[in-house]
Amino acid sequence: MTTAIGIDVGGTGIKGGRVDLATGELVSERIKYPTPEGGHPGDVLDAVEQILGDLDSGPDDHTGVCFPAVVTHGVTRSAANVSADWIDFPATSTFGESLGRDVHFVNDADAAGVAEAQYGAAAGVPGLVIVLTLGTGIGSAFLMNGQLVPNTELGHMELDGVDAEKRASNAAREREGLDFETWGRRVNRFLRHVEKLFSPDLFLIGGGVSKEHEEFFPFFDVSTEVKPAALLNNAGIVGAAYLAGNSLLD
Ligand code: BGC
């Protein structure tokens, strides 16, 4: 069995597991630690080391890390909901040297999108699939005939004078105590705008809240087909492992 390690670094938790690359399934326990206060790179590195130890992972394991920022050539370029220390931080080389193995970084929504294309709801779908993850922020992944176009960052598209994610993320729903109808209509406005600009063939909605899609999908009014993502909480882990295992990063 060919496996790789996937780690998903988020604002509140850092999760990891070993993934069977043939099926996209976790073949280990899913390890989770809270993100250290402040989310600074050195502390995140310690948590990742701990997870690799818990997974009995050795230096030969392909290891992918997904992270909520733009990542180009192994360097994290932005920090919307994380420590500003990550801006222009050489994540791939710093983590690789400290952990004594090849480590590869990728944007979290891009990892989730790749997982959907390989093993989930975007598998075999021709044309343009836009995956949107509704969490602390809004992440986006563009898949053209299954091929990722990275770092699209649609959550920062301006809508009503602010970043779309400030009003339509799941965190905005919780922060403002919105019911699913009010929030669903906000997400719909965002989808309509994205649809107008990119004319996708399919929208996939991910993030933990997609488990409750029946509560808010009825308030969508778009011409594009909309489906929930299939991999839910493990999408980032699985996509990061797939990309690292197939040497598709950097
Ligand atoms: C970040 C993206 C990330 C998304 C979801 C946004 O604020 O800019 O890079 O994919 O949040 O975590």
Enter the tokens of residue 126. 């021709």
- 108 Cβ inside 6 Å of ligand 1: yes
Q: Which residues pair with 160 in a beta bridge?
A: none
pLDDT value of position 207: 94
Enter the tokens of residue 124. 């075999």
In ligand 1, the atom with minimum distance to the C-alpha of 81 is 7
pLDDT value of position 69: 97
> What gap in Å lies between CA 143 and CA 159, rounded to an integer?
23
Residue nearest atom 6 in ligand 1 by C-alpha distance: 137
Full set of structural domains in the chain with CATH? 3-107+236-245 (3.30.420.40), 121-229 (3.30.420.40)
The pLDDT confidence band at residue 226, using thresholds 50, 70 and 90, is: very high
80-109 pLDDT per residue, tens: 888 999 999 999 999 999 999 999 999 999
- 139 Cβ inside 6 Å of ligand 1: yes
The pTM for the full model equals 0.97
153-197 pLDDT per residue, tens: 999 999 989 999 999 999 999 999 999 999 999 999 999 999 999
In ligand 1, the atom with minimum distance to the C-alpha of 11 is 12
- 68 Cβ inside 6 Å of ligand 1: yes
In ligand 1, the atom with minimum distance to the C-alpha of 140 is 10
Enter the tokens of residue 13. 């938790």
Residue nearest atom 12 in ligand 1 by C-alpha distance: 68
> What gap in Å lies between CA 150 and CA 189, rounded to an integer?
24
Using CA atoms, how far residue 122 sits from 2, 59, 68, 200, 229, in Å, is 22, 32, 21, 12, 8
Phi, psi of 223, rounded to the nearest 5 degrees: -80, -25
> What gap in Å lies between CA 166 and CA 136, rounded to an integer?
9
pLDDT value of position 250: 66
- 107 Cβ inside 6 Å of ligand 1: yes
Residue nearest atom 5 in ligand 1 by C-alpha distance: 139
- 165 Cβ inside 6 Å of ligand 1: yes
The chain-wide mean pLDDT, for the chain, equals 96
**Does the pLDDT of residue 247 top 90, yes or no?**
no
> What gap in Å lies between CA 200 and CA 30, rounded to an integer?
33
pLDDT value of position 197: 98
